[in-house]
Amino acid sequence: MQRLVDETAIQQRVRELGEQLSEVYRDRPLTVVGVLTGCMLFLADLVRVIDTPHRIGVVHASSYRGKTTTAGDLRVDTNLLPDIRDRDVLIIDDIFDTGKTIEKLVESLKTFEPRSIRTAVLLVKEGRSEVAIAPDFHCFEIPDAFVIGYGLDYNDDYRHLPFIGVLDDPQA
């Protein structure tokens, strides 16, 4: 396995983002909404360095990925979402690849009438976006490779790793 972003770099960048978000959302009614399951490590580290009171909620997004993946194949489950009406929502996801997941999540959460919606992702893959929106905040831009670790999985393995890696042979 090749290491793409090590633990120290992640922790430092997450801390910087937390400081930035603390100013953006100072004295605002913030709800941080994590996208399960990939958000877990990023969410847990980030909320501990957002130095202004906020609520935490989660949604679940799932997709059937493959050659025919379209927006219609994405499902967003909002059963665990707390009330976000008139609140400032910050969606937290692991990675922005084609952007279809984030686009769908923003559309879905808008129906709950929050005061604002912004998005923050750990990783953005260069040159892959297929949508008109971009994340409002991100930690790292990475080349187009399949990455694992720090919440990201391959067949549900590797999520617990504290760094971002690229598998040499995902089939192995």
Binding site for ligand 5GP (CB under 6 A): 38, 93-101, 146-148, 152-154
Question: Where do we find the tokens 């997450």?
Answer: 14
CB of 163 to ligand 5GP, least distance (A): 14
Choose the one of ligand 5GP, Mg ion, none that binds residue 146, judging by a C-beta under 5 to 8 angstroms depending on kind.
Answer: ligand 5GP
Asked whether position 57 contacts Mg ion by CB under 5 A, the answer is no
Closest distance to ligand 5GP from the beta carbon of 75 (Å): 12
Q: Do 146 and 117 meet the contact criterion of CB atoms below 8 Å apart?
A: no
Active site residue 156: no
State the Cα–Cα distance between residues 11 and 158, nearest whole angstrom: 18
Task: Decide: is 38 part of the binding site for Mg ion (CB under 5 A).
Answer: yes
From edge to edge, which strands make up the β-sheet containing 164-166? 2-5, 164-166, 147-148
* Residue 139 CB, nearest approach to Mg ion (Å): 15
CB closer to Mg ion out of 38 and 135: 38
Helix (H, G, I), strand (E, B) or coil at 117: strand
- Which residues have C-beta within 8 Å of that of residue 63, sequence separation ≥ 6? 69, 73, 74, 75, 100, 101
* Residue from 86, 93, 97, 156 carrying the catalytic annotation: 97
Q: Which residues are tagged catalytic? A: 97
Interface residue list for Mg ion (CB under 5 A): 38
